[in-house]
Amino acid sequence: MPKVVDPEARRRELAESVWRVIRRDGLEHASVRNVAREAGLSMGSLRHYFATQSELLAFAMRLVHERVQRRIAALDLSGDPRQVVERALQEALPLDAERHAEMEVWLAFTARALVDPKLRALRDEGHSKLRELCRRCVEALARRPGLDVAAEAERLHALIDGLALHRVLDPATTTPQRVVELLAAHLDELAGQA
């Protein structure tokens, strides 16, 4: 009699296997075969979840989005808007080991999506969600009359993606503490407190 498996728990296990392979060996080694080996599953079992490498990659990228969204949804939104905004944006930045792994996976997928149209819709979805979060943060903070909300949201979004990139590329200089300070200074300026 086959073992009864919680499909959600199995999906999480698979996701973790995909991430381990990508972080250790690079995206080009995250084949269905290698991920099955990493997860200790047969190719047949794995193919219940995804039939091709593109589906596997899409699966792992979707997980990054879900994790970020889940953390943002769990935020306590009460209190000073300046603090709420800062906490929300920090969830999109690689400030601990979990978010650092997400950023490395995101970077690998983003580069891959340049040449794999199937991945682009998912990449664009994450991009749009972060842009929308930035817009809401700017609206919550900025009270300067005549402020260009769209332009400030685009600048904030570019700053966040740039800081996330530098955190991964240059971790010795761009420490978590430094990212937090630079974001805080930018938000203070937006809120007119700098």
The answer to whether 125 contacts its own copies (rule: CB under 8 A) is no
Q: What Å distances lie between residue 52 and 57, 64, 83, 177, 180, CA to CA? A: 9, 19, 43, 40, 39
The answer to whether 184 contacts its own copies (rule: CB under 8 A) is no
The answer to whether 13 contacts its own copies (rule: CB under 8 A) is no
The answer to whether 180 contacts its own copies (rule: CB under 8 A) is no
State the Cα–Cα distance between residues 176 and 149, nearest whole angstrom: 27
The answer to whether 20 contacts its own copies (rule: CB under 8 A) is no
- To its own copies, the closest distance from the beta carbon of 88 in angstroms equals 18
89-110: buried (b, 16+ CB within 10 Å) or exposed (e) per residue?
A: bbbbbbbeeebbbbbbbbbbbb
**CB of 66 or CB of 170, closer to its own copies:** 170
With contacts defined by CB under 8 A, name the span among 7-15, 18-26, 57-65, 79-87 that binds its own copies: 18-26
With contacts defined by CB under 8 A, name the span among 1-9, 71-79, 135-143, 165-173 that binds its own copies: 165-173
- To its own copies, the closest distance from the beta carbon of 75 in angstroms equals 23
State the Cα–Cα distance between residues 59 and 69, nearest whole angstrom: 15
